Chains A and B, each alone.
Chain A
Amino acid sequence: MLTKIVRTVSNGFIPIIVIFGLYIIAHGHLTPGGGFQGGAVVVSGVVMLLVAFNSQELKKSLRERILSIMESSGALIFIGLAFAGIGTVFFYNLLVGSSIFGGIPPTGPNIGDIWTGGVIPLMNFAVGLKVIAGLTAVVLAIALFSGGEEVEE
């Protein structure tokens, strides 16, 4: 555990990092970024917490079980969205033109509208959820393990 200054500053930064990560995930179909990149940004915040506090303390708020459920459901939502198009073909983007995220932007350069992209924003969210949960679990597991916690059969 580091000093109080470090802990206070990282506590202050965490919301900003998380919001920035979520922004990158949400605007994946408009600006550079997407689920993987935004997820990695959020997890970088978790790593910062891991440095500022110790892994034992972080473990109390981030349960491995919850993370595992989050990751599985992210992956299931992603593949579910791919399955949703199976009426036509697997991975068919069936939401283009519909009322959810179905807007089609004008051809050529434009300012962009969040309500476009069909399943792409939804898939970005699913992947973001998966990446956040998965990488957090990995980082936390490695930190806990190197901290000496070990379960031998």
Chain B
Amino acid sequence: MMEHVPLDFPFIAAALLMGVSLYIIIFKKNLIKLIMGIAMLAAGVNLFLVALGYRAGGGAPIYTGVPKETMVMPVPQALTLTSIVINVAVLALMLTMVIRIYRHTGSLDSEKSRKLKG
């Protein structure tokens, strides 16, 4: 068994990813950068989720080769898989809309393309 490392690197990485991505989402005006921010936020949340289920020294929860005593938790992995696919779907739709918006306005700047007021 490994000794517990006081620095929880995966959680720190997830926090960094989420912090940076929230900065991008709130302050960047370019629509593509906005989408990249959302993709990074998704990556951070997914990393957090999958890191939750890790048991020190554990292997993948698959019986083809691994005994059950050293398995990590399967549910967070399943949740992460689901969440990844969901985010792929969301990204595809967002990118499509941006392509369409670019066709209409010729700009990726969220300030310039905003025709709506209020």
Whether A and B are associated in the same complex: the answer reads yes
Instruction: Give the complex CA separation of A36 and B85 in angstroms.
Output: 8
Size band of the B side of the interface? 10 to 19
Please count the residue pairs between chain A and chain B whose beta carbons lie under 8 angstroms apart in the complex. Answer: 34
Supposing A32-B60, A138-B92 touch, asked if A109 and B99 sit within 8 A by C-beta, the answer is: no
Instruction: Give the complex CA separation of A150 and B99 in angstroms.
Output: 12
- The residue that B64 contacts in the complex, of A36, A110, A142, A145, with Cβ under 8 A, is A110
Contact call B81/A30, Cβ cutoff below 8 A: no
User: In chain A, residues 91-133, which have Cβ atoms closer than 8 Å to a Cβ of chain B?
Assistant: 105, 108-112
Supposing A32-B60, A36-B81, A36-B85 touch, asked if A142 and B65 sit within 8 A by C-beta, the answer is: no
Interface string of B55-96 (1 = CB under 8 A from A): 000001011111110000000000001000100000010011
B interface, CB within 8 angstroms of A: 60, 62-68, 81, 85, 92, 95-96, 99, 103
What are the nearest 9 A-B pairs in CB distance? A112-B64, A109-B67, A30-B64, A138-B92, A36-B85, A109-B63, A109-B65, A31-B64, A109-B66
A interface, CB within 8 angstroms of B: 30-32, 34, 36, 105, 108-112, 138, 142, 145-146, 150
